[in-house]
Amino acid sequence: MWGISDESGQAAPLYITAVVGSLFLALVFFAFGEADVQRNGAQSAADASALAAAKQSRSLLEADLATHLADSEYFASVFNKPFLGSLDDTCWKASVFAAMNKAGDVQCGQLTDGRWGYRVRLKSDKGMSVNVVPGTEGKKAEAEAVAVVEPRCTFVSDPVPEPSTDPDPSTDPDPSTAPSPATDPAPDAVAPSIGKVRCDGGPVWVVDPDDPTLMPDMADLFSVHLAEK
């Protein structure tokens, strides 16, 4: 009897140690799992915020294109050269999407490396709940993302037409039949097209200065996607 009781007394501390160790491992796994969820959530929020700012910048360009339908140099600068987008700040859109994805402390700015796009840094709203590692409780996950806007199309300008020359009046067999400016006004002049915008896998847009409704959707002209940081 004494031998059995003695063995039971020795096993009890081992059992307690094993239980405590298992609970500690469970807390460690929980902490790592929570940290992973926090990081993924923060990265998703950063991605969505950067894309939102870039898409808003793309949308702002639509009005500028519509007011430059007769400017071939402007179209060439937008579609055929590095273009930095509108000067209007669209970071407010990033903040909106960060809040929708439960993130804050947003730092947003236009890229300065020659690309048209935005860089966003933020933190998750919720901090770590487990303090297995000292100093981690309440710590918020951080993430960064970059989104860029790139043209899907190229601009091909049309040659400038040569100015027409008036015929020699002396060669007109019957000058009396010529239209009088006072009685036969000339029809309104139609502005010639400055060229065509050719898009990969899409229709060709013949730029008509007198008809901005022919402009394709901005999503057909420019792509928005995440890029290397």
Q: How far is the C-alpha of 96 from the C-alpha of 120, rounded, in Å?
A: 12
Residue 86 pLDDT more than 70? yes
Q: Which domain holds residue 7?
A: 2-68+83-149
Containing 125, the helix (H) or strand (E) segment is strand 117-127
Confidence (pLDDT) at 203: 79
Domain annotation covers residue 208:
no
Which has more pLDDT, 115 or 126? 115
Domain annotation covers residue 132:
yes
Residue 1 pLDDT more than 50? no
Q: Are 123 and 105 in contact (CB under 8 A)?
A: yes
Give me the sheet containing 153-157, strands edge to edge.
153-157, 195-199, 204-207
Domain annotation covers residue 124:
yes
Residue 180 pLDDT more than 60? no
Q: How far is the C-alpha of 190 from the C-alpha of 209, rounded, in Å?
A: 9
Residue 212 pLDDT more than 60? yes
pLDDT band at residue 29 using 50, 70 and 90 as cut-offs: very low
Domain annotation covers residue 130:
yes
Q: Which tokens sit at 59? A: 């949308």
Q: What's the total number of domains in the chain?
A: 1
| 3-state class (DSSP) for residue 203 | coil
Containing 91, the helix (H) or strand (E) segment is helix 91-100
Q: How far is the C-alpha of 87 from the C-alpha of 186, rounded, in Å?
A: 42
Instruction: State what percent of residues in the chain have pLDDT above 90.
Output: 55
> How far separated are the first and last CA of the chain, in Å rounded?
72
Domain annotation covers residue 8:
yes
Domain annotation covers residue 19:
yes
Q: Which of 123, 129, 116 is nearest to 143 (CA)?
A: 123
Write the pLDDT tens digit of every residue in 143-168: 999 999 999 999 999 875 555 555 55
Burial of 89 (0-12, 13-18, 19+ CB in 10 A): middle
Which has more pLDDT, 177 or 155? 155
Domain annotation covers residue 98:
yes
Distances (CA, A) of 32 to 10, 19, 191: 34, 20, 66
Residue 8 pLDDT more than 80? no
Q: How far is the C-alpha of 229 from the C-alpha of 227, rounded, in Å?
A: 6
| Predicted model pTM | 0.72
Domain annotation covers residue 184:
no
